[in-house]
Structure 1
């Protein structure tokens, strides 16, 4: 595929990337405030979606190692699974918050500041990572490998931080559920 074709293929996805990058955080914010009445709280979900975050982190590392070892098909499959895990996490996270009250962190002193630092950076980067993941994925599926590699160097550590910090946030708040 020539360079101009790669650019055209990528441009087809740009509007969708912008829409999803705005729509997903807005939908999560809106749904976070919606409480479904008379529904049993889905209080079993936090350890499940925290585990999925941990699994996503492992998948990202496996995909990184795979591509470094030139196992392209394995890298592709693992990355698709990581994206699927992130989507599953998001669905469960929203479902939990639509049926359950938010849990307040009960720690005091320095640990409270550490918790809120990790939580806030996790939330902010989870919003920022959406277009990065989508652009990185589109560059891969449109075979724009050089641009894919360039943005993947940014996407990978950010996404890995979001996945790991999600687990840390869960571990820190779990005594207060």
Structure 2
């Protein structure tokens, strides 16, 4: 029997503020989940089947360190970049986020990891996105990506 809470992900958007919030509970430790957020393991779960697929990730995991990701989205290559703003392992991670070369202010991604009786709750707040369309695409992407990460972590328990 499958534990239904393992696959519960909530993701909402506020297009007026340019914010997305997503959360999910994972049956693992904060350390394990923090590792999934800050290593090349991202390439295994940061996906939205048929829409985007992250194929490369690099990161200098320290405050002020740079990160980058690349893949295919909508049939076209994409590249993202940013800077690690806050690292409080294994509780919090904050980073800036923008498409490489885009003439926009970077968005901010805040990842809070909170231990609970049932595992670890990960809450993502992606703020400063430029428009309603990007907000909705980002919301859907975080939803599918967190479901995929739950599947990977659940399989480790099998």
Normalising to structure 2: TM-score of the pair? Answer: 0.32
Larger RCO (CA under 8 A, 6+ residues apart): 1
Higher helix share: 1
Larger radius of gyration: 1
Higher strand share: 2
